[in-house]
Structure 1
């Protein structure tokens, strides 16, 4: 293993700094920035948008820190098609950093986040003020997610519920399909590749790849939810839509 190649030592140092900045940034958002931003009275939807734009801007700045310091390169194809009213964005989840890129580049979007983040000392402030949806596995969560889509919000969901196992095709739970059928105007897949793998479930932050990481986010074609919704009862339609998503992502990994 040649750890001297591609500025490995530099990337090791700045990866540690990136993690430190992320934690400090979460605390600053919670204790200082969001209280100031939310201080001025406004209607609830304006306050929510203000909070999400602040969190999204922080994530965008973090992605730029990683890019400008040479930790990674990235490419985002089709970004202009994200952020539409009632749009459900589904994405695979190969790494921790894909969440940063998605929320940083679609700042007005809602997001279904892991329930553990609601108790995380660094992130619980931002996720609660931004009114993201806690993935607690309840039926109420599915209803709430469908409600925000019917309200005209954009919603980001990672159907796997956790990070993808390297080398394995994504395994999607049916919750995303159920949400789509209950409330989405359109479903738009985002295919994310992180090469070489980094920050997967099996990789601690200090396991630095031998070469620079490249993140590629590609927006796929829209999926007409109504075609599934009108063709079969909800349980069957949900299974069919979930199978379609699974085949899309499995095919993308083989391509």
Structure 2
């Protein structure tokens, strides 16, 4: 995966990973004090991970990876940005999580980079849009699981991406785009006002059917697909921020799917 977009995307994240470690968005003082960064529904839907080998694809600087370790998993995190991997290793050492492994690799090269299979493959929020090929991604996921292994993903739902940013009440974008979108914007979702240099990034929009079908074609058995009417950032300007940290549409407006979670197994 050596096209120009790949180099742009890696430089983008390599610059932002250190910024995110110190941003208020990730609430690092609470995390260092023992709080989990995982969402409650993820922990409930995943179930007990004690002693299980868990791989976190696109792990960023390892906060969620290390949260699974705190719940008893034997964790490996993988990310393509060198600065993210370096930050993850430093964070693991800082909070005293021994045995956590972090590997620098593109997702599509993960089987060769890791050289082993896992009981659980996990991936978290905001990751699929950075991958161009869902079919190849799903084959990687299947290749990385032992027979009987579990794949779990919690991700932002693709449907809101077609709606306007103000209220989410008007369709303004194509759900089936013919090509990716390239942005050139400073800062990031965790550091809007920060001056940055590597600002060019390319993302893909994948429909829910594309994602699910790719996993099925790779041989995985879908156990559930849940759609959620809440999210964890202000996707639309009118979302209401609840005390539990979630965002929802105001009372009286029709509810929309803002996130989804999926669990599958390798037979």
- What is the TM-score when the length of structure 1 is the normalising length? 0.39
The structure showing larger relative contact order (alpha-carbon pairs under 8 Å, at least 6 residues apart) is 1
**Structure with the bigger percentage of helix:** 1
Give the TM-score of the pair, scaled to structure 2.
0.37
Hey, which of these two has a bigger chunk of strand by percent? 2
